[in-house]
Amino acid sequence: MGINAEQLTEVARITLAAGSLRDAVDGVRRALPGIRASTVDAFDMRGETPALRIGDRDLFLMHSDGHCWSVTADPLAAHGIVLTQPEARE
């Protein structure tokens, strides 16, 4: 499937405008129904490198083999996104 640059730009626009992570995920799901979108606690993504930093939120690109999900750095291999909001960084 893959996520192209135009779709990532739209995800970023929606995420920046959203009042909460849940609102961002809902907005992405409505605007881009082919992209799976979810949010998890930032702790769940510890040790992973976000593909994008959008304001104070992190976006991870996710790949699926049909059963398991994993983080990918390649947008063309991505089947979805995960958004997190880390605690304030120093």
Range of the domain at 57: 5-84
Cβ–Cβ under 8 Å, residues 57 and 48? no
Is position 66 within any domain? yes
Is position 39 within any domain? yes
Q: What single-letter DSSP state applies at residue 30?
A: H
With a threshold of 0.95, does the pTM exceed it?
A: no
Q: What is the pLDDT of residues 22-61, one digit of tens each?
A: 999 999 999 999 999 999 999 999 999 999 999 999 999 9
Residue 24 is predicted with a pLDDT of 97
Banded model confidence at residue 90, pLDDT cuts 50, 70, 90? very low
Residues whose CB falls within 8 Å of the CB of residue 35, separated by 6 or more in sequence, listed in order: 3, 7, 11, 28, 29, 79, 80, 81
Is position 73 within any domain? yes
Q: What is the pLDDT of residues 66-89, one digit of tens each?
A: 888 999 999 999 999 999 998 765
Number of domains in the chain: 1
Is position 90 within any domain? no
